[in-house]
Amino acid sequence: MHFSSVPTVDVTSVPADAVLLDVREDDEWAAGHIADAVHVPMMQLPQRLNYEPGPLTPERPIVVVCKMGARSGQVTAWLRHQGYDAANLTGGMLAWARAGKPMETAGEAPPRVI
């Protein structure tokens, strides 16, 4: 499955019961992320699902997030191939920030998308 053909969800229609999965790298996450999102960098996801899936289960809808939507599109395609109910967040964190949606940061600086 090519990642451009995966289901997408707009920032204004993220399901309330969805797990937000942020697949960006640690520095991107630290600069600014969605509150309550689960952070698993893209390359660590297969191992994480095998050993410590937490809320990432095939039964719960997952909305995958990266900066713009390319990495999360690839992850969404992979998750769907594994049997998960996953959708890609259209426009990624840039769209989230543009929409004025709440973000938090790991440091003192205001949250931002890098």
3 falls in which pLDDT band (50, 70, 90)?
A: low
> Which tokens hold the place of 90?
């259209």
| pTM > 0.85: yes or no | yes
Task: Give the CATH number, domain containing residue 15.
Answer: 3.40.250.10
Residue 24: predicted pLDDT: 98
Question: Residue 38: inside a domain, yes or no?
Answer: yes
Domain count, the chain: 1
Which 3 state secondary structure label does DSSP give 112? coil
Q: Which residues are catalytic?
A: 66
Structural domain of 14:
3-98
C-alpha span between 34 and 65 (Å, rounded): 9
Question: Residue 114: inside a domain, yes or no?
Answer: no
Question: Residue 27: inside a domain, yes or no?
Answer: yes
Instruction: With CA atoms as reference, report the closest residue to 79 among 33, 113, 114, 40.
Output: 40
Question: Residue 59: inside a domain, yes or no?
Answer: yes
Instruction: With CA atoms as reference, report the closest residue to 111 among 5, 28, 54.
Output: 28
48 falls in which pLDDT band (50, 70, 90)?
A: very high
pLDDT digits (tens, 9 = 90+) for 60-100: 999 999 999 999 999 999 999 999 999 999 999 999 999 99
Within 13 Å, how many C-alpha atoms sit on residue 90's CB side? 10
Question: Residue 105: inside a domain, yes or no?
Answer: no
